Every structure is written in C-alpha cells, then in structure tokens.
Structure 1
Amino acid sequence: MKKIDCRGLACPKPVIMTKKELESMESGELEVIVDNEAAKENVSKLAKNMGLNFEVFNEDKLFHIVIKKDFTSCDCKIETESEKIVILVSSDRFGSGDDKLGAALMKSYLYALTESEIKPKTMIFVNGGARLTIEGSDVLESIKTLESSGVEILVCGTCLDFYGIKDKLAVGNITNMYTIVEKMNSASNTIKL
C-alpha cells in the first residue's frame, strides 16, 4: 500500500498530492494521512468524485483515508452540456451600484433560477457570495431548493473563515480552491455573478 503523509499541509495541497498519486496508479491502495477535518473531508470528496471506494479512520489524532483503486474504478457518467454549467457567485449583490437594489436583484435571480427548466450542475459561493449560504440569509430558501433539485452547492471554506461565519453555514458543502478550479475547468459554461 502506498502512503502519503500530508500532516501540516494546508488545503488544497493534500488534495493535489492525492490526485497526482491516484492518477499515477493503475490499481492498488493509497493511504493518505492528514491532521485536520477540512483536509479529511476534501480528500474524501476527491475519492468519491473519482468514483473510488475509500475508508476513513482515526488514529492518534490523525485521519487515515484509505482509497482503493482497481481496474473497474471509473466515474463513467456522461453529462449533457446543460449539466456542465457552473455559476460562480462572488458577491451577495447582483451587479454594482445600489446595494439595496443589488440585494433585491440577487434574491429575484436565485428564485427565478429555482423555476428555470435548465439548472446549473454546480454553484460556487466565494468571497461575499459565501454570506448568502448562512443562517438568516434572505435567499437561503432558494439555495436550499436548488440543492434539493440536484444542484451541487459549494462554499469556499477560506471565505467562511475570513468572514468568521463558518459555524453559521446553513446550505451546501465547504470546499477549497483546488476543487473550485477543477469544477470551473471542467465546465462547458461558467457564469459569474
């Protein structure tokens, strides 16, 4: 079994190291050792997104993620072009100018998106956009509706930490910059709000 020791490394380094090692392997097991919850979650999400089986266990205050790769491991889902749309929400306002108008437009846009026949595959909330995903947000119900209809909701963990609101997250999953880059690079169309 191959091992990668990622103790003390900040995200997205553990994810990048794990992905490179998995891509170099034809088959076998890879054990990734991390020392924080965020790295454990992000490495686990990588394995899941790659269609690989994995187990996580704790030992001496460390997380060990054992990922199994074999010849049949494959994420072979074929997506349509509309399923490859990614929306990057970088502000809690829609457009620039008046903040009150921008907040109203964002609320209207997200509600209209819940009613749209074509929905994005993923919505990524970064910077001020992360504030839309926390308790008390005026658009929380619309984002929850989008998530329940199958839209992947990702929220920048660094942004939540910066604003001191990580404990108030009410919808979506915390992510890192590596995953954000991967989602945007694999999109057929990225829309930035």
Structure 2
Amino acid sequence: MKEIDCRGFSYLRIIREIKKYFNSIGEGEAIIIVSSELGRSNVIRYATHKGYRLDQDEEENSFSIKVEKRGCLEVIEEEYIFSILVACDKIGGGDETLGEILISEYFEALNECEKLPKEILFISSGVKLLHKDSNCLEHIRMLYQKGVAILINDTSLDYYNLRENITFGEISNMYDMVITMKKSEKLVKL
C-alpha cells in the first residue's frame, strides 16, 4: 500500500499529490498522512467527491486517512455548462492584499478542477488580472491552454489602458458578453 506523506503541505499541494497517485492507477489504495484538521477535511472531501472509500485514524500531530479507489465507485456527475464573470481584481471588500492573494488562489485551485468553465469573462477591474505583472496571469493562461475561452471586455481594457498587454484570449464587446452569459447554464460571479 502506497503511503503519501503530505504533512506541512498546502491544501492545493495535498490534493495534487492525491490526484497524481490515483490518476496513475486503475484501482488501489493509499494512506494519506496530513498534519492538520484542515488537511484531513480536504482529503475527506476530495475522496468522498470521487466516490472513494475512506478509513481514518488520528495520531498525535497527524491524521492518517486510508483511501481506497475501486473503478465501480467513481461518481458520475451531471454535465453542465458554466461560466465565470470576473468583475474585480481581488476577492472581498476588506484588506486589499488579502483580496489579491485570494483571487490568485482561486485561479490556481480552478486549474486543479476536473470540470472547467466553458468561458471566463473579464470586465471592469477584473481585466487587470490579465496584465503582465498580475499574480494570476499564468493560472489564467493555463486555463486558456486547457480550452477555456477567455473573453475580455474592450471598454474596460480601454479604461485601464491595458489593451496592448493582452497576449491571449478574445477582446469582446459588452453585447457579445451578455449573449455568452445568457447561453451559460450557470454563471459564477467573482
């Protein structure tokens, strides 16, 4: 049985390690070791979502979670089309630095999802995330390379004088963006 020691890892790295192992095998099991309650709950949430069997033990300063993958347990999810509307260059209305960290973590985590949005629409100050100095730019570029359409509002780009900075995606007017949003079965607004 494989042991995956994730003590001290961030939640995204824990999920990456688990996905890497279980995507490389057809069936099998592993013991995942984490050092925090948050890490434990993230492993449980991920494994439950995938339909894997779980068994867990708590030790001093660590948690061991036995995860078992059997082909017949995989959860089949209903397909739906969703889009993301990004209207701000940070998440939340509080501390600006925290908001910038959170939006960067959001796009990093979105890259780890199996179901990606059909498109991401950037309007207002959200277009700043596509600037060459943005902490989010590479995460957004990775989504684009995975086939996610990136639509960038032309009026917002002109307002922030960022049109020359755009190296990928499609510059779009508000009318076309509204049509795209109406076609989406689900719209997530940031």
Q: Which residue of 2 aligns with 1:30?
A: none
User: For residue 183 of structure 1, what is the aligned residue in structure 2?
Assistant: 180
Q: Which amino acid aligns with 2:92?
A: G
Task: Quote the residue 2:117 is aligned against.
Answer: 120
Q: Deviations over 1:44-94 (max 9, x none)?
A: xxxxxxxxxxxxxxxxxxxxxxxxxxxxxxxxxxxx974520100000001
Counterpart CA distance in 1 for 2:155 and 2:181 is 18
Identity of aligned residues (%): 38
Look up the match of 2:166.
169
TM-score by length of structure 2 reads 0.58
Aligned to 2:152: 155
Give the distance between the partners of 2:151 and 2:81, measured in 1 at CA: 15
Distance 1:126 1:153, change over 3 A: same
For residues 88-103 of structure 1, the aligned pairs below 5 Å read 88-103=85-100
Q: Measured at CA, do residues 139 and 121 of structure 1 come closer, stay the same or move farther in structure 2, by a change above 3 Å?
A: same
Structure 2: distance between partners of 1:166 and 1:88? 19
In structure 2, how many angstroms separate the alpha carbons of the residues matched to 1:189 and 1:164?
A: 31
Query: Is the radius of gyration larger for structure 1 or structure 2?
Result: 2
Residue 134 of structure 2 corresponds to 137
Aligned CA distance change for structure 1 residues 154 and 124 (closer, same or farther; 3 Å): same
1:39 corresponding residue in structure 2: none
Q: Report the RMSD for the aligned CA atoms in angstroms.
A: 1.5
Which structure 2 residues correspond to residues 1-193 of structure 1 after superposition, within 5 A? 82=79, 84-193=81-190
Aligned length: 114
Please tell me the residue identity of whatever aligns with 1:85: F
Aligned CA distance change for structure 1 residues 154 and 101 (closer, same or farther; 3 Å): same
Shift of 1:170: 2.8
Q: Which segments of 5 or more consecutive residues in structure 2 lack a partner in the other structure? A: 1-76
TM-score by length of 1: 0.57
* Contact 1:157 1:175 (C-alpha < 8 Å) held by counterparts: yes
Question: In structure 2, what residue type is equivalent to 1:184?
Answer: M
